Structure 1
Amino acid sequence: MSSSPLGRPIVAVKPIAVPAPGRGVELQVKVTALLSGQDLPVIVFSHGNAWSLDGYEPLVDRWAAAGFVVVQPTHLDSRRNGIGWEDPRFATIWRVRITDIHAVLDGLGDILRQAGDLETRVDHERIAVVGHSWGAQTAGAILGARVLDAEGVPGEDFSHSAVSAGALIAATGTGDTLTPFAVEHLPFMRPDYSTMTTPALVIAGGEDRSQLSTRGPEWFTDAYHLSPSPKALFTIAEGEHTLGGVAGEMAAETTDEDPARVALVADAISAYLHDAFKLNDAAWTALNNAAAAGDGTWSITSK
């Protein structure tokens, strides 16, 4: 048990094994939630490349304190599994990631029972998926986005009926401007957002410059601009790819360490999901009003 950033006690249970036939490596998840409370909405979170269920505590603890039950799987690309770019399994990990999220959603009741009494305390009608970086592409697929093949033909529909909202943090854009390295190693990074119909918040950094694309920071806004409404775009002008350190402020890849920025990202997602789930629109309304009256360090656009 620990005290959350907002002062409300939370508890995390790990690892919980989830049935995943044919995966080769056991699928494990971590569940974080308030010690008390009923009708808690759920966030299933997909981590960025190489991370695990042990990352992203600055986000997860804040979401749990805000009343969400957060479920974090460890995907195959986690550095603890040692599957690198040249491993023949790497080319299909994007599919396994999506299958992981489906396994979590399909087995959510059993996962929550293993985490204590949570199965009776959650609101099974209010489930969201959230992801960062590669995890954002994974979450986007659950929200309805598809992957284009080499001929530009959209692949299968991976959306899940249990999910009614989501948030994408630093989601990669379209694949027409991939660098040679990305074309060779990440050919699946060709999202088609035209079918991503589920309500979602897209969070982008105004200084997020990827080595995987020849475009600038606007590449990370494609998920908003190319998807149908309802959507919202939350842009942090000075944010880089980790947006202050969402995986952990001291993580090596955090190039713009700023705990306040991480808290802003976490709270924006909590506010958006509370509004999308029709639980409480006060925080999201206040955030929009603050953006309109602010100095441009961050902005919100909706459609």
Structure 2
Amino acid sequence: MPSSLISRLDDIVGPGSPVVSVAPIVLQAQDRPVPLEVRISAPSVGVDLPVILFSHGNGWNLDGYAPLAAFWASRGFVVVQPTHLDSRRNGFGFDHPVFPTIWTERITDLRRILDQLDTVEESVPGLAGRIDRSRVAAAGHSWGGQTAQALLGARIVDDEGRLVGDDLSDDRVGAGLLFAATGLAGDDLAPFARENFPFMRPSFQELTTPTLVVAGDHDQSRMSSRGPDWFTDAYRQSPGATDLVTLAGAELSLGGIVGYEVSETTDEDPERVAVLQRLSTAYLRTALRVDEGSWAAAREAFREGGAGVGRVESR
């Protein structure tokens, strides 16, 4: 039963602490069409806190994904959420001149945050001196998964499979979480995606950073005629993505990670979200050297008590 599984996972990730969340904080972003605003969420106690950079899905903003951000912060992480240019708040639609460059600007947003961690610390009362800059993860959902995976090492290829563009990986990032991140291109890719989304032609062979991939087994994208297995490609193809969680019955929103009772969630399931909160926390605790045994314990608990919730694979 999910409730007993959640209880076991709580024993692994530990109790939460009160969280301080501050927004909007404006970071320096030269030549960006609009200011770069971020939300910073951090536990009110603790030192040597790891950092999670979180990239939202298409159209969202720094106020989304509270079920993940607040939970991670309560368990000892500093979470920084930018509002990317594609946010509905900015009004840059598919036909806007800035749209073709948004996918690269998203990646630059995450790098800007890394460059300005001093400002991040100074913007939250009591946070200065408590961040461990040697422990940073990049995470993202849907389009945000593509954004995060670029920092983890993933590249872009042309129609012939040749690498194009620069290597945008960042050695300051030591772990990754990819939620419903789209997979490889090919004949299955929808014509609209082929014409407008160059980032949907990834190569995962260069992604060597330790990464957890999360997919829903009912997630059918309009961008590809492939089934839900499309969202597992990062795990199947990457040397760094050594762990995969597949959630039973989950669609793009993975149960509602964008927020509770959000209208676009088609598969709302608070217990599914609760399990994912704890699994992702356990993974990062191990990947970022907080607790070496956390992920192994959570993985075993999920395998033993996750019947009907999903499955975990590792290599």
TM-score bracket, shorter-length normalisation: over 0.9
- Secondary structure of 1:188's counterpart equals helix
Aligned to 1:101: 110
- Secondary structure of 1:264's counterpart equals helix
Amino acid at match of 1:62: F
Deviates more, 1:212-221 or 1:13-22: 13-22
Aligned to 1:47: 56
Task: Select the residue among 191, 201, 211 that pairs with 1:200.
Answer: 211
Aligned to 1:62: 71
Q: Is it true that 1:262 corresponds to 2:273 in the alignment?
A: yes
Question: Does the aligned pair in 2 maintain the 1:46–1:131 contact within 8 Å?
Answer: yes
Output the CA distance in 1 between the equivalents of 2:160 and 2:108. 24
Q: CA deviation at 1:7?
A: 5.3
CA separation of 1:232 and 1:135: change in aligned 2, threshold 3 A: same
Output the CA distance in 2 between the equivalents of 1:171 and 1:250. 22
Q: Is it true that 1:302 corresponds to 2:302 in the alignment?
A: no
Task: Select the residue among 148, 166, 169 that pairs with 1:159.
Answer: 169
Q: CA deviation at 1:165?
A: 0.5
TM-score (norm. length: structure 1): 0.95
Q: CA deviation at 1:196?
A: 0.4
Output the CA distance in 2 between the equivalents of 1:292 and 1:172. 25
Aligned to 1:110: 119
Aligned to 2:223: 212
Output the CA distance in 1 between the equivalents of 2:234 and 2:308. 21
Aligned to 1:11: 20
Task: Select the residue among 278, 282, 285 that pairs with 2:289.
Answer: 278
Q: CA deviation at 1:298?
A: 1.3
Deviations 1:199-249 (A, max 9, x none): 000001011110100100000000101001452111112111100111012
Unmatched segments (≥5 aa) in structure 1? 1-5
Q: Is it true that 1:149 corresponds to 2:161 in the alignment?
A: no
Deviations 1:244-273 (A, max 9, x none): 111012222100001111122121111001
- Secondary structure of 1:136's counterpart equals helix
Output the CA distance in 1 between the equivalents of 2:274 and 2:85. 28
Aligned to 2:85: 76
- Percent identical among aligned pairs is 51
- Secondary structure of 1:239's counterpart equals coil
Output the CA distance in 2 between the equivalents of 1:111 and 1:8. 20
- Secondary structure of 1:118's counterpart equals coil
Aligned to 1:3: none
Question: Does the aligned pair in 2 maintain the 1:149–1:188 contact within 8 Å?
Answer: no
- Secondary structure of 1:207's counterpart equals coil
- Count of aligned pairs: 299
Question: Does the aligned pair in 1 maintain the 2:54–2:79 contact within 8 Å?
Answer: yes
Aligned to 2:181: 171
Once superposed, what is the RMSD of the aligned Cα atoms? 1.5
Aligned to 2:236: 225
Question: Does the aligned pair in 1 maintain the 2:189–2:224 contact within 8 Å?
Answer: yes
Output the CA distance in 2 between the equivalents of 1:299 and 1:270. 17
Unmatched segments (≥5 aa) in structure 2? 1-14
- Secondary structure of 2:128's counterpart equals helix
Amino acid at match of 2:279: A
Amino acid at match of 1:142: L
Question: Does the aligned pair in 1 maintain the 2:175–2:211 contact within 8 Å?
Answer: yes
Q: CA deviation at 1:147?
A: 1.2
Output the CA distance in 1 between the equivalents of 2:100 and 2:264. 23
Question: Does the aligned pair in 2 maintain the 1:224–1:233 contact within 8 Å?
Answer: yes
CA separation of 1:148 and 1:245: change in aligned 2, threshold 3 A: same
Question: Does the aligned pair in 2 maintain the 1:39–1:123 contact within 8 Å?
Answer: yes
Question: Does the aligned pair in 2 maintain the 1:51–1:78 contact within 8 Å?
Answer: yes
Q: Is it true that 1:29 corresponds to 2:29 in the alignment?
A: no
Q: Which has the higher contact order (CA 8 A, sep 6+)?
A: 2
